[in-house]
Structure 1
Amino acid sequence: MPRRLPPLSSLRLFEAAGRHQSFKLAAAELSVTPSAVSHGIVGLEQSLGVELFIREPRGLSLTPAGADYLTYVSKAFSLLETGTQRLPNQRENRTIAVSCAPTLASRWLLPRLHGFRARWPDINVTVDTSQRLVGFPADGFDFAIRMSRAPTAGTCWTRLFGEQLVPVCSPAYRDSLLDANGTMDLRRATLIHVNPASEDWQAWLDAAHIAGIASSGGLRFDTIQLAFEAASAGLGVALGRRPLVDSDLASGALVEIGPEVICAQTAYWLVSAAGADHRPDLSGFRQWLLSEAEAFEDSASAAVSIP
């Protein structure tokens, strides 16, 4: 039996009116009259047998049933828009939408994007760094880059590369940690922590088999970027995460003080909906990103002293 759904035109009127909480504003957006919006929604309410709006002299508001229904209708239109944009014949203004943590986006992805643009100059790339949970395909993203110990069911996960962990600080702070014999003494250091990090100082100390250092004290920040800036300012020793710290090491703002480089248990993964690379541009982006990740991991593997 075919599904009995309200007319798409009525749902469009309802979605606009519900979003604006106004028949007048909905009419202006859809280039119709407020009367047409009102009559269309009355017809929708009669068809559904449910009152969707409370109409009062001071304004318009959704009923509880209307607010609930608007959530589903809005998602349905969003899916339709996303699906239409992803059709193979939608050649104009093609865009690849990527969700990525801000530090990884600025320090690893952004410096490499020119390589993709050189190969695909007509493809636009949108990078979202809000770190919100991404639903495929409802949120309109093609890919997400996430850090995890293992893939999560329901989406397609491809490993990009792991992080290497090494203590870093400013050159002047490093000199202050040297004892009379010129030996580095981490026990004298202020440790800089990143609160959201799943692997922090205790993980590094355990993997490096270093005892006698209290890992709980020191300074704490909510982003890796702030931790690196604090270390550059001479406030202490941060746990550098390669590749995120590579630009600071290259510029000399930070230096490695070792004694060990540790492989993190977590890794960066490229996440997408199953079959998301059916478009040539999406397939090209995936292959380009995997190639960049492989080249980076090959170059970084020599710096790891503990597997």
Structure 2
Amino acid sequence: MRRKLPPLNALRAFEASGRYSSFTGAAKELLVTQGAVSRHVSSLEDWLGVKLFLRTHRGIELTRKGEAYIRALSVAFDQIDYATREARDQTEGSVLRLKVPPTFAMRWLVPRLTRFQSMHPGIELQVTTSHEPANFRQEDVDVSVHSHPFPPVDSGQHRLFREVLMPVCSPNLLKREPGLRCPKDLARHALLSSRHRPMDWSRWLIEAGITELDSPGSIDFDNAALAYQGAIDDLGVVIAVRALIEDDLRTGRLVAPFDLQVSTPGGYYLACSQVSSKSPQLVAFEEWLVKEAEDYERWVQPATEPFPGGASATR
């Protein structure tokens, strides 16, 4: 039987407009003008003989029939997207696309990837770094890992490991005068941090009993990896996520002047594309990454190991 389908461009314009609740948002995604999106939606409404949107002075709102139609279209588009990925992967090889934060990639993921490659040599990885979580409906991404300051509401995200904050510095800086015998001594050193984690120093200092601290020449870096490197190069003391500096602590590139470690409510979370069903390579990577994180958490718990410096305290 011959299928009776409306124009595909009109369907795409409607589906995108419904997701954004905006012709403008749809136009940006589809790389066309707002007027073109509006015309496509109007032509679809004429073709169907029903109103899909209510036009108001505040924008557009889906009608009841529009809501039902977009739910069905979203499932269909997801299935088309999945089938397209499968067809392309069969042609190009088994490809898995990751989107992760830069510092997590450099200091936690990449050092472990040789283990995954040895287990799954046929899976090709494409790694993109970004501070923004993936939008699976709009990006060609299979796996996303990002830090969240609080547990996300989305139940589809799996916590890999918690965030434990601790100040660290180079061994040279620790030996230098003025010393670092108690947390108040931080006032005489440059404090290094990432602009994407603006609350880390405040969290740790409050737990250390310090509400105000003026330090000379503090430096705010674009990402934490730069801040950690600055600490290694004697620039100052950095507030670090412990999971991302374990290798530096083990090799002695960085040391902890105080034993106080502070757990935040947040952590690093894994999310995977839920388009149709998961591919075998996605399942393999998800299982491997979760296992790596579980092994790390077991190894580091409880976080009470003494470090060079002040009195022992962990929270």
Fold shared, TM-score > 0.5 on shorter chain = yes
CA apart distance, 1:215: 6.9
Alignment partner, residue 199 of structure 1 = 199
Give, in whole Å, the separation in 2 of the partners of 1:69 and 1:226.
48
211 and 117 in structure 1: CA distance in 2 versus 1, 3 angstrom threshold: same
Alignment partner, residue 65 of structure 1 = 35
Q: Percent identity?
A: 30
| 1:16-50 CA distance string (max 9 Å, x none) | xxxxxxxxxxxxxxxxxxxxxxxxxxxxxxxxxxx
CA apart distance, 1:137: 4.0
Alignment partner, residue 151 of structure 1 = 152
In angstroms, what is the RMSD of aligned CA positions? 3.7
Give, in whole Å, the separation in 2 of the partners of 1:6 and 1:94.
33
Give, in whole Å, the separation in 2 of the partners of 1:216 and 1:265.
29
The answer on whether the counterparts of 1:202 and 1:215 sit within 8 Å (CA) in structure 2 is: no
Alignment partner, residue 306 of structure 1 = 314
CA apart distance, 1:278: 3.0
1:163 is the counterpart of 2:163: yes
Give, in whole Å, the separation in 2 of the partners of 1:89 and 1:156.
24
CA apart distance, 1:237: 0.7
The answer on whether the counterparts of 2:102 and 2:130 sit within 8 Å (CA) in structure 1 is: yes
CA apart distance, 1:132: 3.8
CA apart distance, 1:134: 2.1
Alignment partner, residue 5 of structure 1 = 6
The answer on whether the counterparts of 1:96 and 1:125 sit within 8 Å (CA) in structure 2 is: yes
118 and 151 in structure 1: CA distance in 2 versus 1, 3 angstrom threshold: same
Task: Identify unmatched segments of 5+ residues in structure 1.
Answer: 12-61
Alignment TM-score, normalising by the size of structure 1: 0.69
99 and 298 in structure 1: CA distance in 2 versus 1, 3 angstrom threshold: same
Matched residue count: 251
202 and 88 in structure 1: CA distance in 2 versus 1, 3 angstrom threshold: same
Structure 2: which amino acid aligns with 1:5?
P
65 and 88 in structure 1: CA distance in 2 versus 1, 3 angstrom threshold: closer
Structure 2: which amino acid aligns with 1:266?
G
Alignment partner, residue 244 of structure 1 = 244
CA apart distance, 1:291: 0.4
Give, in whole Å, the separation in 1 of the partners of 2:259 and 2:210.
10
SS of 2:165's partner is strand
CA apart distance, 1:187: 3.1
Give, in whole Å, the separation in 2 of the partners of 1:178 and 1:89.
58
Alignment TM-score, normalising by the size of structure 2: 0.67
The answer on whether the counterparts of 2:170 and 2:234 sit within 8 Å (CA) in structure 1 is: yes
Give, in whole Å, the separation in 2 of the partners of 1:216 and 1:78.
53
CA apart distance, 1:161: 0.2
The answer on whether the counterparts of 1:199 and 1:264 sit within 8 Å (CA) in structure 2 is: no
Larger radius of gyration: 1
Structure 1: which amino acid aligns with 2:102?
P
Alignment partner, residue 65 of structure 2 = none
